[in-house]
Chain A
Amino acid sequence: MLKTETFTLNMGPQHPSTHGVLQVVLELDGETVVQAIPNMGYLHRGIEKLAESRTYAQFIPYTDRLDYVSSMGNNLGYCQTVEKMIGIKVPERAEYLRIIMTELNRIASHLIFMGSLAIDLGASTGMMFGFRSRERILDLFDMACGARQTYTYIRFGGVSADIPSEFIPALQRFLADFPAMLDEYHRLLTGNEILYHRLKNTGLISGQRALEIGLTGPALRASGVDYDIRKVEPYGIYDRFDFSVPLGQVGDCWDRYIVRMEEMKQSASIVTQALEQMPEGTVMATIPKVLKPPAGEVYHSIENPRGELGFYIVSDGGTNPYRLHVRRPSFINLQVLNETCQGLLIGDVVAVLATLDSLMGEVDC
Chain B
Amino acid sequence: MVGKGLLEGMRVTLKAFFNKKETLQYPEIKLTMPARFRGGELELDNKKCIACGLCARACPNHVIEMATGTDEQKKRHLKSYVYHSGLCLYCNYCIEACPTNAICWDKNYENSRYFKEELDVDCLAIAKQKSAATTVDAAQADKPNAEQEDTLKRREKDE
A contacts B directly in the complex (CB < 8 Å)?
A: yes
Interchain CB contact under 8 A, B38 and A58: no
Closest to B4 in A: A191
- From 122 to 168 in chain A, residues with beta carbon under 8 angstroms from any chain B beta carbon are 125, 129, 132, 142-147, 150, 152, 160-161, 164
Closest to A132 in B: B22
Query: B99 at the A/B interface (Cβ < 8 Å)?
Result: no
Query: A196 at the A/B interface (Cβ < 8 Å)?
Result: yes
Interchain CB contact under 8 A, A62 and B60: yes
Report, as a range, how many residues of chain B touch the other chain. Answer: 20 to 34
CB of A16 to closest CB in B, whole Å: 22
Report, as a range, how many residues of chain A touch the other chain. Answer: 20 to 34
Interchain CB contact under 8 A, B90 and A147: yes
CB of B109 to closest CB in A, whole Å: 11
Complex contacts, A193 vs chain B, CB 8 Å: 2-3, 5-6
Using known A-B contacts A187-B8, A193-B5, determine if residue A145 contacts B36 with beta carbons closer than 8 Å.
Answer: yes
Query: B35 at the A/B interface (Cβ < 8 Å)?
Result: yes
Complex contacts, A145 vs chain B, CB 8 Å: 36, 38
Query: A96 at the A/B interface (Cβ < 8 Å)?
Result: no
Could you list some 6 contacts between A and B, CB below 8 A?
A58-B58, A62-B60, A142-B34, A150-B89, A152-B91, A192-B5
- From 82 to 107 in chain B, residues with beta carbon under 8 angstroms from any chain A beta carbon are 89-93, 96, 105
Query: B13 at the A/B interface (Cβ < 8 Å)?
Result: yes
Interchain CB contact under 8 A, B92 and A187: no
Using known A-B contacts A59-B60, A60-B91, A152-B91, determine if residue A142 contacts B9 with beta carbons closer than 8 Å.
Answer: no
CB of B21 to closest CB in A, whole Å: 11
Interchain CB contact under 8 A, A146 and B38: yes
CB of B6 to closest CB in A, whole Å: 6
Complex contacts, B136 vs chain A, CB 8 Å: none
Give Cα distance in the complex from A184 to B16, angstroms. 10
